Amino acid sequence: MAGSERLFLNVEKSVSGRPWVDRLSEEGARIAAAMSQQFGISEIVTRVLAARGVALEETEDFLNPTIRHLMPDPATLTAMDALTERLADAIARGERIALFGDYDVDGAASCALMTRFLRAFGIEPDVHIPDRIYEGYGPNVGAMDKLIDGGASLIITLDCGTTSEEPIAHAKSRGVDVLVIDHHLTDADLPVADAIVNPNRPDDISGLGHLCAAGVTFMVLVSVNRALRGKGLAANAPNLMNLVDLVALATVCDVVPLTGLNRAFVVRGIEIMRKGANRGIAALALAARLSGPVEPYHLGYLIGPRINAGGRIGDAALGARLLSSDDEHECLHIAGQLNELNVERQRIEKQAVDEAAATADAEIGEGKGPPLIVVASPEWHQGVVGLVAARLKERFGRPAFAIAQGANGGGTGSGRSVPGVDLGRAVLAAVEAGIIAKGGGHAMAAGITLSPGQLGEFRSFMTEALAEDIAEARRADKVKIDAALTARGATTDFIHEVDRAGPFGSGNPSPVFALPHHRITFADIVGEGGHVRVTLAAGDGARLNAIAFRAAGTPLGDALMEGRDAGPIHLCGGLSINHWQGQASAQLRIIDAAHPG
């Protein structure tokens, strides 16, 4: 236990085996008190702010983030001027432009942003989203030929392209210009594109590497708008602020840090979404039976998965078409298709997760097991391996890879990591060392392609490369508590007050509250995911509904089920507002429990 950390409720080992610590240091507590006094803000909110490193002088700006204030000049991004000039010229000349996007939410949103922008100038771009199974990630020669044969003189890759040397070189050899807008890491030589705007390219010093591809695309469009005004085309320029809902959607779903400019994108984007400005997003919200106003949580867990379902097991282009459409009938139709695909995706995912978890359980057993999990099967659908890896990571608390094997023994897989373990860098090192055929990604997620016979060597390489980082991450795995409260204090008004410090997500973690000495009066397992639903009672009789997602069969789930009508128990988790039949009520999302000492 670090000297600066203090146990919360004296919990040294919870039912999940972790200590509970106060997220706020003693110095942070002093800053929180000063914030509350100086700005007249509730101390519970200032505790949340101070615990996330917000300084006293940053308080007002943090609580009221604006894109205008937080976005730097787009020209700070390497190659922005060159890309802007080429794209602005193409728009001014009315060239045939083609877009090549990724098959996830970020790729779909980036394509929709660019499509809507180009339409304002009378250009309807050709859009190609690759099939995950038959084409894989990123540009390929066949798709480039198709776009060029269709008449494109300029191809723009969105959320991909940084590592696509051969397809881009091929397009250039046919006399077509290629612009790359991306955010993925690379240690390799850059392709011979006409311009590559990527804040994570090795020679970029903009400090904007936390942006998703849609965020980078937005900055590109700001720059191009400026250039088009210089060409006398300002009258046609769209109001880019009305498109920030697409950036917000991608920012949340791509799990990039919700700090700085990203926070401003999400705050502004949520405001626009609540007005129903994008008919595609509104149709998906309807299909998902979203109740109450749109929240960041809905983007990541209800709307985003439905868009991704198209790229995982169906038509990968559905998401980009939906987000680009203003036709209400078309939007409702596509949203219905995506909803059906999502139901099928859930079925396929559950079967694969059950098999993968059984394999991992047998490998780990009662002991510590390997530092990371690598499982593979020829039975798994390639479109869900990322979700399988995520579930394994959650269940076993260590990085995990799930690989869909081909008939020849090779395979395509995805990995998910834990804080402090950079999976993307390790995968790039495996590619450089010739351990795997292809791979890349971010710190928290990566994709890989294995040739026949590479599975065992890949597992050994990653274990050796990451063992020390994983061990340190496991030692640092603590439940950080922001404050204690009771069931009576967990009200919708309280949640609205705390939400002033949001939006919460990666880089700005959701507040965790401890409820000490509460009793469980009801517990049951609900849903196919094995969620444990409980009712909590405080000593004064106040009650609070709570749920632990996917907890059945885990130490946490067992503790909750065994705690029915037993003695008091400490619980902790995040608070949310549950909307049901026109009523709003507070709900605790339980993440851990501990028996009082």
DSSP sequence for 275-321: TT-SHHHHHHHHHTT--SS--HHHIIIIIHHHHHHHHHHS-TTHHHH
Can you tell me whether residue 82 is helix, strand or coil?
Answer: helix
Same domain, 235 and 321: yes
- For residue 487, what are the domain limits? 479-594
Percent of the chain with pLDDT over 70: 98
pLDDT at position 309 is 96
Contact assessment for residue 267 and residue 295, using Cβ atoms and an 8 Å cutoff: no
Answer whether residue 1 shows pLDDT above 60: no
- State whether 151 and 296 are in the same domain: yes
Residues 324 and 448 in one domain: no
Instruction: Give the DSSP per-residue string, 507-574.
Output: TBPPP-EEEEEEEEEEEEEETTTTEEEEEEE-TTS-EEEEEETT-TTSHHHHHHHHTBTSS-EEEEEE
**Average pLDDT value for residue range 187-215:** 94
Asked if residue 523 has pLDDT above 90, the reply is: yes
Contacts of 274 (CB under 8 A, 6+ apart): 293, 294
Q: Which of 509, 451, 520, 454 is nearest to 481 (CA)?
A: 509
pLDDT of residue 16: 93
- The pLDDT score that the predictor gives to residue 365 is 66
Q: Which of 447, 475, 503 is the last residue of a domain?
A: 475
Residue 237 lies in a domain: yes
Residue 136 covered by a domain? yes
What's the sign of the alpha-carbon dihedral 289, 292, 293, 299?
negative
Q: Are residues 468 and 490 in the same domain?
A: no
Do residue 158 and residue 260 come from a single domain?
A: yes
Residue 333, in any domain of the structure: yes
| Enclosing H/E stretch for 362 | helix 328-364
> Given a cut of 90, is residue 175 above it in pLDDT?
yes
Q: Report yes or no on 347 lying in a domain.
A: no
Which neighbouring-strand residues pair with 586?
Answer: 577
pLDDT in tens, 373-400: 999 999 999 999 999 999 999 988 899 9
**pLDDT on residue 369:** 79
pLDDT tier at 440 (50, 70, 90 boundaries)? Answer: confident
pLDDT band at 367 (very low <50, low <70, confident <90, very high): low
Same domain for 516 and 456: no
Domain contains 461: yes
CATH of the domain at 95: 3.90.1640.30
Cα–Cα–Cα angle for 8, 14, 19, rounded to 5 degrees = 45
pLDDT-derived band at 291, boundaries 50, 70, 90: confident
Total domains in the chain come to 3
Answer yes or no: do 287 and 384 share one domain.
Answer: no
Tokens at 316, concatenated = 């990968």
Distance CA 208, CA 261 (A): 9
Q: Report the C-alpha gap between 515 and 495 in whole angstroms.
A: 15
453 and 552 in a common domain: no
Q: Does a structural domain hold residue 25?
A: no
Q: What pLDDT is recorded for position 4?
A: 64
Please tell me the distance from the alpha carbon of residue 77 to that of residue 79, in angstroms, as a whole number: 6
The token pair at 87 is: 């794209």
| Residue 404 · residue 382 · CB < 8 Å | yes
Percent of the chain with pLDDT over 90: 87
Distance separating alpha carbons of residues 192 and 314, to the nearest angstrom: 32
Query: In this predicted structure, what is the pLDDT of residue 306?
Result: 97
Cut 0.75: pTM above it:
yes
486-504, pLDDT tens digit by residue? Answer: 999 999 999 999 999 999 9
Pairwise CA distance, residues 53 & 501, whole Å: 12
Give 136's pLDDT tier (boundaries 50, 70, 90): confident
470 and 583 within one domain: no
- pLDDT single digits (tens) 325-354: 999 999 999 999 999 999 999 999 999 999
Rounded (10°) angle between helices 261-273 and 244-253: 120
First-to-last alpha carbon distance for the chain, in angstroms, is 18
Q: What is the pLDDT of residue 366?
A: 57
* Mean pLDDT, the chain, whole residue set: 94
Indicate which CATH number applies to the domain containing 569. Answer: 2.40.50.460
Q: Say if CB 343 and CB 287 are below 8 A apart.
A: no
Q: Residues of 412-441 as b/e, b for ≥16 C-beta within 10 angstroms? A: bbbbbbbeebbbbbbbbebbeeebbbbbbb
- Sheet order of strands, 177-181 included: 126-128, 97-101, 154-158, 177-181, 195-197
Report if residue 559 sits inside a domain. Answer: yes
Nearest C-alpha neighbor of 518 from the set 430, 443, 448, 595: 595
Asked, for residue 6, whether it belongs to a domain, the answer is no
CATH classification of the domain holding 443: 3.10.310.30
pLDDT reading at 561 higher than 90: yes
Asked whether residue 393 falls in the same domain as residue 256, the answer is no
| Domain end marker among 456, 475, 494 | 475
Beta bridge partners of 10: none
| Domain final residue, candidates 431, 460, 475 | 475
Q: CA quadruple 308, 310, 312, 313: dihedral positive or negative?
A: positive
Residues 274 and 379 in one domain: no
285 and 379 together in one domain: no
